[in-house]
Chain A
Amino acid sequence: MDRVRVDFQQITGQIKPVHGVNNGPVTCNFWYDASEYFLAANIPYCRLHDTEYPFGSGEFVDIACIFKDFSADAEDPASYNFTLTDDYLRCIREVGAEIVYRLGASIEHQPVKRNIIPPADYLKWAKICEHIIRHYNEGWANGYFWNIEYWEIWNEPEFVNYGISRCWTGTKEEFFEFYRVVATHLKERFPQLKIGGPAFTAPDHDYAKEFLRFVTQSDSQIPLDFYSWHGYVKNVEEAKELAKRAKGMLQDFDLTETESFYDEWNYVPSWNEMETAYEKMKTAEGAALCAGTLCVLQQSPVEKAMYYDAQLRWENEWCGLFAPGKTHRHAIGNKVIPLKPYYSFYGFGVLYKLRKEIFTSVEGEYIYACGATDGMESALLLACFTDKEIQKKKVQIQWADEKLCIQVYLLDEEHDLDLIKEYEDSMVELEVRNHSVYLLRFRH
């Protein structure tokens, strides 16, 4: 029998905002609204990248959307197109999520590239970013005081797929210099904000090492308040390993104050079987991967994480959280339907609301668990995930003798985190199947 030992009295830290997502609750040019589900899951961060893909639909978030004509005057409010980005960000704020704003361009898969070419003038580009930040944080150009703290410079500059650059057509050296100019300018202008990036496809490849060497060995101080990186994983262990390697890299370069952001992740069993991956992302198997990953990220050296992707694009491939709901009126206020993996985020959101992480230890294979308490109530998220065929297994959750009121919620093929049992006891014994997730709620 596998065992999960819990100590409700032993606080081991804070529950971290690792159940963030990419993009906002109201998507597809405001057709679909997932706000109620964002609120219910206490989604802590929305990272803005590939927002309203492709090209930000010409209107959203990307620099090329907000500042459409690079030859225009960066000081002139009339040069900026904020309208729909304002509306988009407002929807995020209304669900209580914070924003990580990626300054840059959406990924480009089409043969003729448009916005992923190195800007003609890095400093001018930095000044445009400065004005965008001023618009959202200092009210410039009829703007707001939203205090958006995290500003990420670019995304996946090193990503080459089938020999084609997808996010930065320039050289590595050009990117480093670009980062230096932009990060330095923005940090000088906004020392209180967090400036970082560059959202690498992995935390510790050679490009990343050279980048961190460049940042740390430069004569001038190049800011890197957070280091962002990505990883699409086959299993939970892989996510855990990536988080460890990212922190190791930061330590190697003595960047001990730099936060580690895992700001794109999802379940990809194989990049050569993408149709299968897209399907699995939306299933109980995907849900168990998500819950297991959230548990291990809580216990790993990563500060924040964001799942890719919560937006309902027309294609909807990467969004394992929601599907389009039934449409009545054309293009107006349509609801979404939560998919299985959403409930894993909801479950972690319960822990996040309780705030204090409690001691948990797992004895057994393929079981991942994480617990939280606020002193009155406690909760435990438990997932069973492996890509192997395994038999149903017994898992005992043990704590000190105290008898508690226990609610058991199950997420699997047949259940959407449904309450399946409610009773009083001093331990819990579960028959756990592969690709299932449990949320246990305890009242003290």
Chain B
Amino acid sequence: MGDLILDFQSVTGKIKPLHGVNNGPVTCNFRYDATTYFKKAGIPFSRLHDTEYPFGSGQFVDINCIFPNFERDPEDPQAYNFALTDEYLQYILKADAQIIYRLGCTIEHQRSKRHVFPPSDYEKWAHICEHIIRHYNEGWAGGFSMGIQYWEIWNEPDGMLWEGPKEEYFSFFKTVVTYLKSCYPHLYFGGPALCTGCNEFSEQMFRYLVSGGKRTPVDFYSWHTYACTPEEVVRQSELAHELLVTYGYTQTESILDEWNYVETWDEVGEAWDVIQSMKGAAFNGATMILLQDSTCDKATYYDAQLTFHKWWNGMFAKGKSDTFFKDMQQVVPKKGYYPFEIFGKLYGLGNQVYAKANCEHLYVLAASDGFRHAVMLANYQKETWETVTVIPRLVHDTGKASKLFVLDETHDLELVQTFHEVPEQLEIRPNTVLLWEF
């Protein structure tokens, strides 16, 4: 048993957009629609990577989909294939999310690689990206004014996505980011979506970026973590932060733009089972809570697209439809979705306020807009199975009723109790997430 101390008048910061996701609400070639839930959770960012996997289905987001023949003239609108990416992005904006657009290609697991090679001409590749940005932000080639702010150069060059020496990647990154920043100084360019917060690759890359007396602009540094404890995710965040500080990139945002539950890559099928479960949902909740007090500025969960509904997507399942491709099918939220909805409620309130629970396994975060307050509690346990009991102590009693919503094996964020006074204690079963609204 421990204390749960809440002070809704003590503002400690802003709730950060940590409940972003990878990919959009309308997926599987426009078959499934999760817009309702994106809006309900207030998903702040959709990062576009592995969109319509594999190979962007030849039509979506990836440079090789949009500019299929690298020999063509980047100035020629006819050389571009924007049609389905246009549609895809419009659905994201309709769901009120912002876009982080990964300029590059999808991961390739097959033996014969296709697009994960260093481009034959980095400057030309940068020019192609310049035109893609112009299409989406400045109306070029029948385009739009979407105001997409974040443009990420490549993904996991330290993993399976760069079939070249790392030095070539450093040079590629520098060429592209420098060029794009010169074209669009008001936009944010960064990357490279490394596999971890800091590793040998990132150290060498930043050494390269500051070498020669001229600092390469990096508006955001992106990295990934697949782990089985929220503490490991935060540890990676601190490593990323230290890296940025070491190389003087103190204004550079730190973006965790792929995260999910994995205990071991040798049994990833078991991780997928957890991702689909209430345990996975509790992990989601605990991780977002812990990230709020970390050095991470934004986060996007991998992955919200329905292609991976049995694998990486712990948020949505296929809806049912008895007709054959008549209309888009609505998705059905899974347990893993609801922590995003809870976090979204706190995000909507704006300010983080003081909350502390001094007992093991319990993660807590509170938010307020001055009138309304909400507390998110997650009891996440990887191995053990212990019910946590806390004594809530409000530093300033609101004097009003409060409502407790439960996400567990048997409740999907359902109202289970209305308190007219602060309860003497709260019992939180293992792998449960609570929303307590005042």
| Chain A positions near chain B (C-beta within 8 angstroms) | 29-31, 52, 54-59, 64-65, 68-69, 71-72, 81, 83-84, 86-87, 109-112, 114, 161-162, 166, 271-276, 314-315, 324, 326-332
Q: How far is the CA of A331 from the CA of B109 in the complex (A)?
A: 6
Bitwise interface map of B from 341 to 357 toward A, beta carbon under 8 Å scored 1, else 0: 00000000000000000
Contact of B268 with A29 in the complex, beta carbons under 8 Å = no
Contact of A69 with B69 in the complex, beta carbons under 8 Å = yes
Say whether B210 faces chain A, with CB atoms less than 8 Å apart. Answer: no
Contact of B55 with A332 in the complex, beta carbons under 8 Å = no
Contact of B320 with A314 in the complex, beta carbons under 8 Å = no
Bitwise interface map of B from 47 to 85 toward A, beta carbon under 8 Å scored 1, else 0: 000001011111100001100110010000010000110
B307 neighbours in A (Cβ, 8 Å): 314
Q: How far is the CA of A84 from the CA of B320 in the complex (A)?
A: 33
Q: How far is the CA of A86 from the CA of B307 in the complex (A)?
A: 25
A86 neighbours in B (Cβ, 8 Å): 112
Say whether B322 faces chain A, with CB atoms less than 8 Å apart. Answer: yes
Q: How far is the CA of A54 from the CA of B321 in the complex (A)?
A: 19
Say whether B114 faces chain A, with CB atoms less than 8 Å apart. Answer: yes
Contact partner of B28 (CB less than 8 A), chosen from A114, A314, A328, is: A314
Say whether B111 faces chain A, with CB atoms less than 8 Å apart. Answer: yes
Contact of A72 with B69 in the complex, beta carbons under 8 Å = yes
Contact partner of B58 (CB less than 8 A), chosen from A59, A69, A272, is: A59
Given contacts A30-B110, A58-B55, A58-B65, contact A112 B269 (CB under 8 A): no
Shortest distance between the CB of B304 and any CB in chain A (Å): 14
Q: How far is the CA of A331 from the CA of B265 in the complex (A)?
A: 11
Majority secondary structure of chain B interface residues (helix, strand, loop or mixed): loop
B400 neighbours in A (Cβ, 8 Å): none
Q: What would 5 more interface pairs be, CB under 8 Å, given A69-B68, A69-B69?
A: A57-B58, A109-B325, A161-B325, A271-B323, A314-B309
8 Å CB contacts to A: which residues of B298-319? 307-310, 318
Q: How far is the CA of A54 from the CA of B268 in the complex (A)?
A: 26
Contact partner of A109 (CB less than 8 A), chosen from B29, B111, B265, is: B29
Closest chain B residue, CB of each to CB of A58: B58
Given contacts A59-B114, A84-B112, contact A330 B324 (CB under 8 A): no
Contact of A68 with B69 in the complex, beta carbons under 8 Å = yes
A272 neighbours in B (Cβ, 8 Å): 322-323
Contact of A109 with B31 in the complex, beta carbons under 8 Å = yes
B309 neighbours in A (Cβ, 8 Å): 314
The 4 closest A-B pairs by CB, nearest first: A58-B58, A327-B269, A331-B109, A69-B69
Say whether B272 faces chain A, with CB atoms less than 8 Å apart. Answer: yes
8 Å CB contacts to A: which residues of B264-295? 265-269, 272
A161 neighbours in B (Cβ, 8 Å): 324-326
Contact partner of B267 (CB less than 8 A), chosen from A87, A166, A328, is: A328
Q: How far is the CA of A426 from the CA of B226 in the complex (A)?
A: 64
A111 neighbours in B (Cβ, 8 Å): 30, 87
Shortest distance between the CB of B117 and any CB in chain A (Å): 12
A64 neighbours in B (Cβ, 8 Å): 58
B268 neighbours in A (Cβ, 8 Å): 327-330
Number of residues on chain B facing chain A (CB within 8 A)? 43
Given contacts A274-B322, A326-B269, contact A57 B57 (CB under 8 A): yes
Q: What are 27 A-to-B residue pairs whose CB atoms are below 8 Å?
A: A30-B110, A31-B109, A54-B52, A54-B57, A56-B58, A58-B65, A68-B68, A69-B69, A81-B114, A83-B114, A87-B110, A109-B30, A109-B325, A112-B83, A112-B87, A271-B323, A274-B323, A275-B322, A314-B28, A314-B307, A314-B309, A327-B272, A328-B266, A328-B267, A328-B268, A330-B265, A331-B109
Contact of B114 with A114 in the complex, beta carbons under 8 Å = no
Contact of A275 with B29 in the complex, beta carbons under 8 Å = no
Contact of A30 with B56 in the complex, beta carbons under 8 Å = no
Shortest distance between the CB of A332 and any CB in chain B (Å): 7
Contact of A315 with B28 in the complex, beta carbons under 8 Å = yes
Contact partner of B56 (CB less than 8 A), chosen from A58, A81, A84, A273, is: A58
Given contacts A57-B54, A314-B308, contact A328 B114 (CB under 8 A): no
Closest chain B residue, CB of each to CB of A107: B325
Contact of A162 with B325 in the complex, beta carbons under 8 Å = yes
Shortest distance between the CB of A50 and any CB in chain B (Å): 12
Q: How far is the CA of A23 from the CA of B235 in the complex (A)?
A: 46
Contact of A58 with B57 in the complex, beta carbons under 8 Å = yes
B325 neighbours in A (Cβ, 8 Å): 109, 161-162, 166
Q: How far is the CA of A314 from the CA of B309 in the complex (A)?
A: 8
B114 neighbours in A (Cβ, 8 Å): 59, 81, 83-84
Contact of A55 with B58 in the complex, beta carbons under 8 Å = yes
Shortest distance between the CB of B27 and any CB in chain A (Å): 10
Contact of A30 with B109 in the complex, beta carbons under 8 Å = yes
Closest chain B residue, CB of each to CB of A26: B110
Shortest distance between the CB of B58 and any CB in chain A (Å): 2
Closest chain B residue, CB of each to CB of A54: B29
B87 neighbours in A (Cβ, 8 Å): 110-112
Q: How far is the CA of A52 from the CA of B298 in the complex (A)?
A: 34
Contact of A57 with B55 in the complex, beta carbons under 8 Å = yes
Shortest distance between the CB of A155 and any CB in chain B (Å): 16
Q: How far is the CA of A114 from the CA of B68 in the complex (A)?
A: 14
B28 neighbours in A (Cβ, 8 Å): 314-315
Contact of B266 with A329 in the complex, beta carbons under 8 Å = yes
Q: How far is the CA of A58 from the CA of B78 in the complex (A)?
A: 18
Contact partner of A271 (CB less than 8 A), chosen from B54, B111, B324, is: B324
Given contacts A54-B57, A109-B29, A111-B87, contact A87 B109 (CB under 8 A): no
B308 neighbours in A (Cβ, 8 Å): 314
Contact of B112 with A114 in the complex, beta carbons under 8 Å = no
Q: How far is the CA of A111 from the CA of B134 in the complex (A)?
A: 25
Contact of A275 with B55 in the complex, beta carbons under 8 Å = no
Contact of A59 with B30 in the complex, beta carbons under 8 Å = no
Closest chain B residue, CB of each to CB of A108: B29
B55 neighbours in A (Cβ, 8 Å): 29, 57-59
Most chain A beta carbons < 10 A, residue from B68, B110, B307: B110
Closest chain A residue, CB of each to CB of B113: A83
Most chain B beta carbons < 10 A, residue from A30, A81, A110, A328: A110
Q: How far is the CA of A114 from the CA of B83 in the complex (A)?
A: 8
Contact of A110 with B84 in the complex, beta carbons under 8 Å = yes
Closest chain A residue, CB of each to CB of B318: A315
Shortest distance between the CB of B72 and any CB in chain A (Å): 7
Q: How far is the CA of A57 from the CA of B109 in the complex (A)?
A: 14
A83 neighbours in B (Cβ, 8 Å): 112, 114
Q: How far is the CA of A56 from the CA of B68 in the complex (A)?
A: 15
Contact of B57 with A69 in the complex, beta carbons under 8 Å = no
B318 neighbours in A (Cβ, 8 Å): 315
Q: How far is the CA of A274 from the CA of B318 in the complex (A)?
A: 14
B54 neighbours in A (Cβ, 8 Å): 29, 52, 57, 59
Shortest distance between the CB of A81 and any CB in chain B (Å): 8
Bitwise interface map of B from 130 to 170 toward A, beta carbon under 8 Å scored 1, else 0: 00000000000000000000000000000000000000000
Shortest distance between the CB of B277 and any CB in chain A (Å): 16
Closest chain A residue, CB of each to CB of B309: A314
Bitwise interface map of B from 186 to 210 toward A, beta carbon under 8 Å scored 1, else 0: 0000000000000000000000000
Q: How far is the CA of A86 from the CA of B111 in the complex (A)?
A: 12
A55 neighbours in B (Cβ, 8 Å): 29, 57-59
A56 neighbours in B (Cβ, 8 Å): 58
Closest chain B residue, CB of each to CB of A166: B325
Shortest distance between the CB of A114 and any CB in chain B (Å): 6
Contact of A69 with B72 in the complex, beta carbons under 8 Å = yes
Q: How far is the CA of A9 from the CA of B431 in the complex (A)?
A: 68
A276 neighbours in B (Cβ, 8 Å): 322
B266 neighbours in A (Cβ, 8 Å): 328-329
Q: How far is the CA of A6 from the CA of B242 in the complex (A)?
A: 81
Most chain A beta carbons < 10 A, residue from B56, B309, B323: B323
